[in-house]
Structure 1
Amino acid sequence: MPLPWGAGLPLRLPGQRCGSLAEGESTGGRSLGAGEKAAERPEEGKGLGQNRGWKRMDMKETYITKEEAERITESYPTPFYLYDEEGIRENARRLKQAFSWNPGFREYFAVKATPNPEILRILREEGCGTDCSSLAELEMSEACGFRGQEIMFSSNDTPLSEYRFAEKLGAIINLDDFSNIEELRETLGGFPETLCLRYNPGGYFKIANTIMDNPQDAKFGMTEEQILEGFRILKAGGVKHFGIHAFLASNTVSNEYYPTLARQLFTLAVRVKEDCGIRLSFINLSGGVGIAYRPEEKPNDILAIGEGVHRVYDEILGKNGLSDVRIFTELGRFMLAPYGALITRVIHFKETYKHYAGVDACAANLMRPAVYGAYHHITVLGKEKEEGTESYDVVGSLCENNDKFAVDRRLPRLEKGDLLFIHDAGAHGFAMGYNYNGKLWCAELLKKRDGSVKLIRRAETPRDYFATLDIDPDMKRYMDSHSL
């Protein structure tokens, strides 16, 4: 049942969010560089809470207060993920607005980022499709009401049975490798009417002479010559509708990424028309548009990005008789990351050569800081107005020294029981969790637009953890005797 906040709890007004102070160095060890400015102070007499038009450079916004979070923990113990429905919907609408110039535009949400049915249904209501890369993601999409070409199946090293299931659903199949073409024909006894090929241009992918990534080292996609030959084979095999797809860089914080990628794909589309006699039906820009994990970073402007793609579209496709090509995207991080947080409680302190603050979450709940050295901002709920006067390593309980959400992080003085709001965990957060050290998966909750909170995935139990061991007689007896 949805959990009401109760009378007297402050709720966010539309467009209004709570503020949070920040820190110095990140999990990855990066400090403010010489050219980066520290946060400016507000004008004398203007408090943090009263001046909504002013925002510190070392702050990130939250979508709950300490009082709201404590209320939730009465029903759902920490740690848990909390998603913001209002933020998700607003962001989906901004994306749709950014590409409203293209009548056939569709966002195919990357299910891998946040595979939860409640999230998928929200995005479906906002007009999104799903980008799937496995059987389970296809099945979840079908269960949530996605049908036919509302689903894009982009996989690699793909079991043949998954092609069959995708074809049964009527999903658009995006082939990763040239050899998949004949493999698919043999598996399905022919080609579907619509097919997409994944492109890898090789070399270095640059934006304004800055190297963003190295596609030639990526395992994904086909060369340009393979793409052209592939389309000739598909055309001869009866395919009627064609598309191309490419993913060349991850988590770019630059309004120029999509327009730069679009220029490459649109140019290829013209060559496909000239060399193969094929007019592409759609071009999938995939993902790669990132978010500002650090408060001092300038976030992407999706409206500017959409207009940038529009200009390149008119310049290349429009002038070459391809002004009816549909544009697709496959965003995951951009769609969900800012609208999900890991809520965890401080439970322990340790003083040795450093100051450690232990929390009840660990890398098994959010692995990005431990594995990638990724930065996730931390707000101490209820202490948003306090300065970051103390330096902490914020750590979990895994038997691994990299189980750290933050290293040398400047935070307000912490106390046992403090609730931490770990930002930007709405994508590739819960989804990348694991059971190492016997840690159980935490719950996922949704803050709905009316302010209530809904459980959208229960926390894992010991019985869940041991479920696949029920073939072992000792484990089965133990589970039964302990009512697991």
Structure 2
Amino acid sequence: MSVKKVPFSQAKIEEITKSFPTPFHIYDEQAIRDNVRRFLDAFSWAPAFKEYFAVKATPNPAILEILRQEGLGGDCSSLAELILCEKAGITGENIMFTSNNTPDGEFQKACELGAIINLDDITHIEFLEEQVGLPQLICFRYNPGPLVESGNSIIGYPEEAKYGLTKEQIFEAYKTVRDKGVKRFGIHTMVVSNELDTAGLLGTANMMFDLAVEIYQKLGIKLEFINLGGGIGVPYQLAQQPVDLEFLGKAIQEAYELKIKSAGLHPLKLMMECGRMITGPYGYLVSRVIHEKNIYKHYIGLDACMANLMRPALYGSYHHITVMGKENQPCDHVYDVTGSLCENNDKFAIDRSLPQIEIGDLVVIHDAGAHGHSMGFNYNGKLRSAELLLQADGSVKQIRRAETLNDYFATLDFDCVTTNLAAAAKK
């Protein structure tokens, strides 16, 4: 069973709210660093193991700087994410650029930074060659299709996903780029997300090891690396267990030795691109209770809404909730915990048993450190909130300010409206 604790006292978080009004996301720096070190240690046996943090999970340069210091690279899928890595000092082959339906300008920026280009479709070979030129290192994203017997709640069934090349295309693609002069090769896949089943994660490794051997046997191409994707999940629910990283690392090591070493392909670099498990459990959405409503159900209204954390509305996801100062009180009240959007799915929890809640209470929503703030939006004119960093020394700093109405209106042309109204008034 997972344990859900917050890294601050009620007095500490109340003090923080005096300088930074709720709602806000706050990240625990030391916990993130400790987690990364444990993850890297579990795969320290692998030749030149590299974790490429999925920037989309928590796209903030302060977080990326912490991860760079710990030896991580960046997994990017857009121009903005490439620039975020660049500004955080992550460049060259410390960037894996994995995108789909990619504009030429994004390939150009990735090549400018010296990133590893991971192509999502066989037609992208010609597109990349025409727009930028083929780099010396090329990677392809593999979609195994029905080879994977079950789907994933986030990605779905591989054969129905828009990502990657078929097995037949994989062989054609490597032959094509080899004949065009490419000298270095890698391969990538991403078939699960938020996976807590070690067997599923190990199955991905076995599948890719077998494919690497087959590519070598059929084409004579020795891959430089295999990127096993991300996919390691977060135990959002209390009854769930986190992935045993040490067990997973050892199991993949055994498969590597059995398949890769025995085929004469050692050393072969291993990579992963986890995002969620790196920062997810160590970020918290802090919100204030501003309303209580009792009709057919009992509702608690927060000053946050799904614009601050979309996952419960999008996936029906569970996020644990702590009511500060009431951690040891009985959970003998049942509430829907809601935001203020004009959408009925704007709920952080439905029929959740919690301590009795009063207006003014501070509520902390757990496991919001990945795909939380980054999925924010402005529907209903809601403004994205601030991001804070609880630093290793216990101090707090703002790493992204809250949006203002001026930010929201900045891209609108009110002068046009004023001119048209003035013209209409003269008629």
Same fold (TM over 0.5): yes
What residue is the counterpart of 1:319 in the other structure? Answer: 262
What residue is the counterpart of 1:170 in the other structure? Answer: 114
What residue is the counterpart of 2:94 in the other structure? Answer: 150
User: How far is the alpha carbon of 1:256 from its aligned partner?
Assistant: 2.0
Residue 281 (structure 1) aligned with residue 224 (structure 2): yes
What residue is the counterpart of 1:214 in the other structure? Answer: 157
CA contact under 8 A between 1:256 and 1:308: conserved in structure 2?
no
**Aligned match for 2:334, one of 373, 378, 391:** 391
Residue 88 (structure 1) aligned with residue 56 (structure 2): no
CA contact under 8 A between 2:95 and 2:116: conserved in structure 1?
yes
SS of 2:107's equivalent?
helix
What residue is the counterpart of 2:168 in the other structure? Answer: 225
CA contact under 8 A between 2:2 and 2:241: conserved in structure 1?
no
CA contact under 8 A between 2:116 and 2:137: conserved in structure 1?
yes
Structure 1 CA distance for aligned equivalents of residues 312 and 186 of structure 2: 36
CA contact under 8 A between 2:151 and 2:158: conserved in structure 1?
no
Q: Which amino acid aligns with 1:230?
A: A
What residue is the counterpart of 1:479 in the other structure? Answer: none
What residue is the counterpart of 2:307 in the other structure? Answer: 364
CA contact under 8 A between 1:386 and 1:412: conserved in structure 2?
yes
What residue is the counterpart of 1:186 in the other structure? Answer: 130
Change (3 A) 1:59 1:353: farther
What residue is the counterpart of 1:116 in the other structure? Answer: 60
**Aligned match for 1:103, one of 37, 47, 52:** 47
SS of 1:115's equivalent?
coil
CA contact under 8 A between 2:47 and 2:268: conserved in structure 1?
no
Structure 2 CA distance for aligned equivalents of residues 340 and 170 of structure 1: 31
Q: Which amino acid aligns with 1:119?
A: I
**Aligned match for 1:409, one of 345, 348, 352:** 352
Structure 2 CA distance for aligned equivalents of residues 211 and 238 of structure 1: 37
User: How far is the alpha carbon of 1:258 from its aligned partner?
Assistant: 2.4
RMSD: 1.4
What residue is the counterpart of 2:74 in the other structure? Answer: 130
What residue is the counterpart of 1:459 in the other structure? Answer: 402
Structure 2 CA distance for aligned equivalents of residues 279 and 258 of structure 1: 23
SS of 2:336's equivalent?
strand
For residues 113-170 of structure 1, the C-alpha deviation after alignment (integer angstroms, 9 at most, x for no partner) is 1000000000000000000000111111111111100001000000011111111111
Structure 1 CA distance for aligned equivalents of residues 192 and 148 of structure 2: 8
User: How far is the alpha carbon of 1:474 from its aligned partner?
Assistant: 5.3
Q: Which amino acid aligns with 1:139?
A: I
Residue 62 (structure 1) aligned with residue 6 (structure 2): yes
Q: Which amino acid aligns with 1:329?
A: M
Residue 354 (structure 1) aligned with residue 297 (structure 2): yes
TM-score, normalization: structure 1? 0.84
What residue is the counterpart of 1:40 in the other structure? Answer: none
SS of 2:39's equivalent?
helix
Residue 72 (structure 1) aligned with residue 16 (structure 2): yes
Q: Which amino acid aligns with 1:277?
A: G
1:371-390 pair list within 5 angstroms = 371-390=314-333
**Aligned match for 1:257, one of 189, 196, 200:** 200
User: How far is the alpha carbon of 1:204 from its aligned partner?
Assistant: 5.3
TM-score, normalization: structure 2? 0.95
Structure 1 CA distance for aligned equivalents of residues 385 and 335 of structure 2: 24
Unaligned 5+ segments in structure 2 are: 420-427
For residues 255-307 of structure 1, the C-alpha deviation after alignment (integer angstroms, 9 at most, x for no partner) is 22321101111100001101111000000011111010001111111111111
SS of 2:198's equivalent?
coil
User: How far is the alpha carbon of 1:205 from its aligned partner?
Assistant: 2.1
Instruction: Number of aligned residue pairs: give it.
Output: 416
For residues 214-271 of structure 1, the C-alpha deviation after alignment (integer angstroms, 9 at most, x for no partner) is 2101110001111111111111111111000000111111122321101111100001
